[in-house]
Amino acid sequence: MTNWETITLEQDQETEGIYTLTLNRPEAMNSLNTQMALDLIQCFTYLKEQKDLRVLIYTASGEKSFCVGADLKERKGMTNEQWHRQHDIFEEAYAMIRNFQYPVIAAVNGYALGGGMEMMLSCDLRIIADHAKVGLPEVKIGIIPGVGGTQLLPRAIPVGLAKEFLFRGNQIPAERAKEVGLVNDVVPASELIDKALEISRDIAKNAPLSLKAIKQSVNNGLQTDLNTALTIELDQYYKCANSEDRQEGIMAFNEKRKPNWQGK
């Protein structure tokens, strides 16, 4: 296990390639302060150097809260300049979550509000405990989501629903989040990490170049028109088709054995 001041990182002992990042400020409902953002930046920088990594589980300590957004106690009394400097750090941390090369699975163990919901939205897959609630309540305190909420939410669910949730700022129960397609699955809290690990183990068995290529194709393709998106897909396809791992995958299939991926 690797520890920072506000987060921990652990490698799964059963399946190679799975790491779990845990937000660890339960006494503050895992709210995001400057130190946590700096720790996230350092952690994701470290993770990019881990050659065996295939999938990251992103969760939080305790049973009550995933993350309730920015630590408003820390922000009390900040000047506009200090607020802006802090937000620059927040933006960098969230960009590292969104742009991480391998799949990131959010295992939401409780309230995911404001910046906490934006963390969840920054991940590729989202599993949520049945007691959890999510929401973007920024409108209630005179601001709007500032690390992706107004852009990621309407890319995840119908625009009308996204606008309703943003305009009202209300908390959304887990089952409603599942109903509108905001999360992949809802499970009892006691099964949350097991479910995330189940999905992660299926993912970790697959070719690393393919995992990265799929993420690039989907994320970049969503930002453009269909013809351009198909060109993006084809470019990623040939990166995989021309790789040594593609040859290994074919041989392993014909020899009825597990492939030995090299990531090249």
CATH number of the domain enclosing 215:
1.10.12.10
Which pLDDT value is given to residue 96? 98
Q: Same structural domain for residues 160 and 247? A: no
The residue annotated as part of the active site, out of 5, 81, 138, 244, is 138
Query: Is 81 in the active site?
Result: no
Residue pLDDT, tens place only, 46-94:
999 999 999 999 999 998 999 999 998 888 888 999 989 999 999 999 9
Tally of domains in the chain: 2
**pLDDT above 90 (res 210):** yes
Q: Per DSSP, what are the bridge partners of residue 111? A: 65
Look up the domain containing 70 and give its range. 2-204
138 catalytic per annotation: yes
**1, pLDDT greater than 80:** no
* Final residue in a domain of this structure, among 166, 188, 204: 204
Are residue 89 and residue 14 in the same domain, yes or no? yes
Residue tagged active-site, from 92, 118, 164, 255: 118
Residue 105 shares a structural domain with residue 215? no
Are 153 and 26 within one domain? yes
242 in the same domain as 218: yes
According to DSSP, the β-strands at 111-113 and 65-67 are parallel
131 shares its domain with 240:
no
Q: Which CATH number belongs to the domain containing residue 200 in this structure? A: 3.90.226.10
One domain, residues 238 and 145: no
